[in-house]
């Protein structure tokens, strides 16, 4: 069943955000596309609606309006914009919100290679986000290892999503949302500090994608069925 809480995707006009929005809109979730520009957000929302159909519950808003309208937030911006955006949005983010961070600190953002990550002082982009959100906002890290090309298509995804969080509610909600994506199994990946590893796996996948000309994802095998959502 769809969660009745709207999901605001901040930076939702890029391939990662639109892909998640498309997949969740298709299964009946209520989506708000966030952007620095309200017009661009609405355009992206309209485009997704045209793919999903009139029943899609999707709208577009400037990022701070999206934060004010939802308490489930998904952050899909480049690492180089993450800290500045979160500082700007701090007054708009509602206490009690859950922020799901998908940011990968790719070296490409500062002129390096896409198949490498930058060192982040806090340990990971997700831990940096945790330092920047208002008190009372909890963080989960997820969706780093899903290809936006696949998300924006029609096929089942054939990938696992590992979720890391220090907060049980943020963890459970994110596992539920991940498992709503067709073909995805969601796995509890432990503490938020493990986000560093998820972020690095993306850099590895980018290198593999270049080498093998595809859109790789990951599957974790060998656990009892209850380990997979
Ligand atoms: N692409 C993938 O396959 C993939 C998969 C997993 C995770 N990720 C991660 O998810 C994040 C988004 O990926 P993406 O490929 O969708 O990125 P993107 O297209 O470069 O950026 C996404 C959106 O972020 C906003 N944005 C760009 N620069 C910004 C800045 N300096 N400050 C605030 N907002 C900014 C833009 O929206 P507006 O201009 O409309 O505000 C843009 O459309 C990245 O951290 C990426 O590493 C990507």
pLDDT tens digit sequence for 193-219: 999 999 999 999 999 999 999 999 999
Ligand 1 pocket test: pick from 8, 10, 11 the residue with the most ligand atoms within 8 Å of its Cβ. Answer: 11
In a domain, 130, yes or no: yes
Confidence of residue 114 (pLDDT cuts 50, 70, 90): confident
pLDDT at 39: 98
Which tens digit of pLDDT belongs to each residue from 57-90?
Answer: 999 999 999 999 999 999 999 999 999 999 999 9
Domain that holds residue 52: 7-227
Residue 113, domain member (yes or no): yes
What is the model's pLDDT at position 1? 58
Task: Return all residues near 156 (Cβ < 8 A) that are at least 6 apart.
Answer: 182, 183
- Euclidean distance between CA atoms 47 and 199, whole angstroms: 29
| Structure confidence at residue 224 as a pLDDT band (50, 70, 90) | very high
18 Cα to the center of ligand 1, angstroms: 10
Measuring from atom 6 of ligand 1, which residue has the nearest CA?
144
Residue nearest to atom 22 of ligand 1 (CA): 14
Does residue 222 sit within a domain?
Answer: yes
Residue nearest to atom 42 of ligand 1 (CA): 14
Total domains present in the chain = 1
* Pocket (CB within 6 angstroms of ligand 1): 11, 13-17, 35-37, 40, 76-81, 85, 102-104, 106, 143-144, 146-148, 202
Give the distance (Å) from ligand 1 centre to CA of residue 152.
14
Average pLDDT over residues 135-153: 97
Mean pLDDT for the chain overall: 96
90 located within any domain: yes
DSSP 227: G
Distance separating alpha carbons of residues 44 and 60, to the nearest angstrom:
7
**pLDDT at residue number 196:** 97
What CATH number did the domain enclosing 85 receive?
3.40.50.720
Q: List, in order, residues 6 or more apart from 13 with CB less than 8 Å away.
A: 33, 35, 40, 41, 43, 44
Task: Choose among 143, 149, 134, 135: nearest CA to 15.
Answer: 149
102 C-beta neighbours (distance < 10 Å), count: 27
With respect to residue 144, please indicate whether it lies within any of the assigned structural domains: yes
In a domain, 2, yes or no: no
Mean pLDDT of 153-173: 97
What pLDDT does residue 116 have? 85
1 domain residue, yes or no = no
Confidence of residue 111 (pLDDT cuts 50, 70, 90): confident
């Amino acid at each position: 069943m769809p969660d009745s809480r709207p999901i605001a995707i901040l930076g939702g006009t890029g391939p990662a955000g639109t892909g998640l929005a498309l997949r969740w809109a298709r299964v009946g979730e209520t989506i708000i596309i966030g952007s620095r520009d309200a017009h661009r957000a609405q355009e992206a929302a309209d485009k997704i609606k045209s793919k999903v159909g009139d029943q899609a519950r999707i709208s577009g808003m400037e990022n701070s309006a999206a934060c004010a309208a939802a308490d489930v937030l998904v952050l899909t911006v480049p690492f180089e914009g993450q800290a500045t955006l979160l500082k700007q949005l701090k007054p708009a983010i509602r206490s009690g919100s859950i922020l799901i961070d998908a940011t990968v600190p790719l070296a490409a953002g500062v002129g390096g290679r896409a198949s490498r990550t930058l060192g982040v002082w806090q340990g990971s982009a997700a831990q940096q986000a945790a330092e920047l959100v208002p008190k009372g906002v909890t963080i989960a890290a997820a969706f780093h290892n899903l290809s936006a090309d696949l998300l924006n298509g029609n096929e089942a995804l054939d990938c696992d999503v590992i979720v890391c969080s220090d907060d049980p509610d943020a963890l459970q909600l994110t596992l539920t949302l991940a498992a709503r994506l067709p073909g995805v199994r969601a796995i509890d990946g432990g503490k938020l500090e493990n986000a560093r590893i998820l972020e690095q796996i993306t850099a590895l996948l980018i290198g593999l994608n270049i080498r093998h000309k595809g859109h790789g994802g990951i599957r974790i095998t060998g656990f009892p069925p209850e380990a997979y959502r």
